[in-house]
A and B are shown apart, each in its own frame.
Chain A
Amino acid sequence: MFAEWLFYVFSVLSVLGAVGLVLFRHPMSGAMSLIVTMISLAGLYALLSAKLIFVLQLIVYAGAIMSLILFIIMFLNIQTSDLPEEKGKLYFLAGGVVLLLPIASFLIKVVKSLPGSEATIVGKGFGGVKEVGLVLFQDWLLPFEIVSILLLVSLIGAVVLAGKRRVGK
């Protein structure tokens, strides 16, 4: 029962955060509300017994990625005057909602086909660091390895695009 309440609290918070992201004019406000969403999601992960992910969500997402974004926002020193006018935003929002209705209803229809099942917290041995780590390094070696390439690419890319460059003769 308590878990259910928690679910509702977190979900309302996350949706509010998301709505804030979409609606706030200034990206800083958007980023802040996204952080709210992320933290709520972390709570939901905990409710779903994904302990490692819960931690990582907080550390990597809400922590690292979002602080990077915030850092850049501040680095670029974005003023309100720099922001786009976005006069027709409301029309776009309304139109977007109309367009999204079929997609959402389709997805919800799909979800409804799932037999109802409880999401009680599962005890030990599920979602812990060790257990997930074992799965990761045994079954999911390939993705894990190639993610390293991906990160390498992104690293070089960031340098190439934003860093200093030694231009060829």
Chain B
Amino acid sequence: MEHTAAYLGLIPLLPLTGALVIGLLYMFTCTTNPLPEKLYGALACVGPLLSFFLALVVFFHLKGLPPEERFLVHNAYTWFAVGDLHINMGFLADPLSALMLLFVTLIGSLIHIYSVGYMAEDKNYGKFFCYMNLFLGAMLILVLGSGPVVMFVGWEGVGLCSYLLISYFSEDTNNVLAGNKAFIVNRIGDLGFVLGMSVLFWAIGASGFDYLSLRANAHNLTPAIGITVCLLLFVGATGKSAQIPLYVWLPDAMAGPTPVSALIHAATMVTAGVYMVARFSFIYAHFPIAGSVVAWVGILTALLAAIFGMFQKDIKKILAYSTVSQLGYMFAAVGVTAYSAGIFHVFTHAFFKALLFLGAGSVIYALHHQQDIWKMGGLKDKLPRTYWTMLIGALALSGVPPFSGFFSKDEILFSALATGHTGIWFIGVLVAGMTAYYTFRMIFLVFHGAPRDKEAFDHAHEPPAVMTIPLVILAVGAAFAGVLNLPAIFGGSLNVSQWLEPSLVEHHGHASIWLEIMAMLASIGVVACGVYIAYKKFGQGAEEPVFTGFAKIGYYKFYVDEIYNAVFVQPYKGFGSIISRFLEPKVTDSGVKLSSWLYQKAGTAFKALQVGYVRIYALYMIIGLSLMSLFLSQTIN
């Protein structure tokens, strides 16, 4: 056991080392004699693959232990210790983190491989892989961290990499702005995280500030503090996982290269919030009110993002809103204490959304960076492998049985119903329909009908195998991952949920099997409707519509960005300039300026008193003496 635990530190270290090596090589050679791309590509894939391998070792090791003993802890060293605060640079592998570990390393590796092909034409090849490896390392720290502070290291690290990769094509100001936006919005969330951690520490952290100790002491939390902690941490989660009100950065984050969108902004980093809530299930489970807030925020985000997704024309933006929407589902799940359902959706979503993004990447690659779906069409035959794999992804995303998305989403909706959150269930079903609609709208517009841009269509060709093989692997995952958590009515035994059991504190709702079947049928029906409407409208080719009314507002995303800009960004900047132009020189400094002015003026006045006439000087003396005499007369009598 000790032996395996020691690997835990190695898992994030491998990609980090990769990042360091690649980074140094790149930094010192890029301006003078650039190294061959193949070298970088090979170096970049080593770390993730080795990590994946180690993750498998850890997973099977855990699997070999009895359920209640399934955790491995490796405290590398004391990170810092001040007073009662004692933070170990520690790594924890338990069923939850092991599951995350597996798919993060798996998908990470796949995307690295895909990127070798996708980024082939880029001149900053080395930089890209340095960032990617760095990201993976940070993500693994996030997953493996034995306590919230270590998790926060990864948490911020992935944020940094996200920033770096979003603004990767940094010559274009918009990309950098998108990166800035991502970092800053994430930081707003991080503030919540830090504050939540701090409150938590002062409440129960004195005897150890890692998950295991916290879990043991969680019952000491008072409701007020507990709910505060939950909500503050959730603020952190909304930032990282793009929930209302902090979701705005994610669509813009599509400015980065497509593999980045797949890895960071779909499969792994954005789900960190869900993971974090699940990690803190031992607190959230105690405070249903906080859970409800989480759930409602989640489901409303899902709805809102779905609405936006229906009207987008950029293929990546559609997928981005879809991601936001799916993340909303996950939060709805963890909010209603169905943590395993949420995590399971994270898991399946990672496959199908990574698949969709990579597919979209293939399309974009094939069309030479064309992202507008209204300029595509009929690509089915040109890109067959891409088409079929993306179709599987779309079916999974839409929740069509028996693809993975169906099971995970249905589990969530059922949990909501079972715990009495009927409203959430209803919206969830509605969103499922909308998801099906916009997903297939995309599929139909891209792959079916007649090509809208003849020239681009003619030049399109299937990308190389290094890009398509990961697609196929992911498609397999997207299609069949649902099997891992088959519910009872399909004869399964919720394997994933059982696996996660020791890590989570769950309250399972109880509902009749008929209700479950009814719910399932309802969502299948709604999804079918969605697909049908999409087919009717776009299946046979359609022209780009001119949006009016609600659609226009939806297309412009309810003007949320503009509102944020007007309400937060501009006032912030304005306040900055008010300070530096007015407050600083005129108000804050006025005391100093005024006193120096007064001093100068008084000096001038005194200078004027030095008239130079000797008898006036004598007069001054007499005036002084006279006043003093007046004073002295009082003292004698």
Q: Chain A residues in contact with chain B, CB under 8 A? A: 92, 96, 99-103, 105-106, 109-110, 113
Contact partners of B604 in chain A: CB under 8 A: none
Cβ-defined contact, A103 with B625, below 8 A: yes
Q: In the complex, are the beta carbons of B626 and A113 less than 8 A apart?
A: no
**B595 near A: Cβ within 8 Å?**
no
User: Which chain A residues lie closer than 8 Å to B633 at the CB level?
Assistant: 102, 105-106, 109
Please report the number of residue pairs spanning A and B whose Cβ atoms sit closer than 8 angstroms: 30
**Which residues of B approach A to under 8 Å, CB–CB?**
615, 619, 622-623, 625-627, 629-630, 632-633, 636-637
Show 13 A/B contacts (Cβ-Cβ < 8 Å), sorted by A.
A96-B619, A96-B622, A99-B622, A99-B626, A102-B627, A102-B629, A102-B633, A103-B625, A105-B633, A106-B629, A106-B632, A109-B636, A109-B637
Chain B residues in 8 Å Cβ range of A102: 626-627, 629-630, 633
Chain A residue at minimum C-beta to C-beta distance from B623 = A99
B636 to A103, Cβ gap below 8 A? no
Complex Cα distance, B626 from A109, in Å, reads: 14
Interface of B is mostly: helix
- Docked complex Cα distance between A109 and B635 (Å): 11
- For B615, the closest partner residue in chain A by CB is A92
Please report the C-alpha to C-alpha distance between residue A92 and residue B619 in the assembled complex, in whole angstroms. Answer: 10
**A100 B626 Cβ-Cβ under 8 A:** yes
Cα–Cα, bound, A105→B619 (Å): 18
A96-B619, A101-B626, A106-B630 known, 15 other contacts, Cβ within 8 Å: A92-B615, A96-B622, A99-B619, A100-B622, A100-B626, A102-B627, A102-B630, A102-B633, A103-B625, A106-B629, A106-B632, A106-B633, A109-B633, A109-B636, A113-B636
Q: Nearest 9 A-B pairs (CB), nearest first? A: A106-B629, A102-B629, A103-B629, A99-B626, A102-B630, A106-B633, A102-B626, A99-B622, A103-B626
- What is the chain B residue whose CB lies nearest that of A98? B626
Chain A residues with CB under 8 Å of B622's CB are 96, 99-100, 103
Complex CA gap A105/B631 in Å reads 12
Rounded to whole Å, the gap between the CB of B628 and the closest CB of chain A is: 9
CB <8 Å contact, B636 and A110: yes
Name which residue of chain B comes closest to A105, CB basis: B633
CB distance from B632 to the nearest CB of A (A): 6
CB-nearest residue of chain A to B627: A102
A106 cross-chain contacts in B, Cβ below 8 A: 629-630, 632-633
Query: Once bound together, how far apart are the Cα atoms of A100 and B627, in whole Å?
Result: 10
Give chain B residues whose Cβ lies under 8 Å from the Cβ of A101.
626
CB neighbours (8 Å) of B615 from chain A are 92
Residues on A with beta carbons closer than 8 Å to the beta carbon of B630: 102, 106
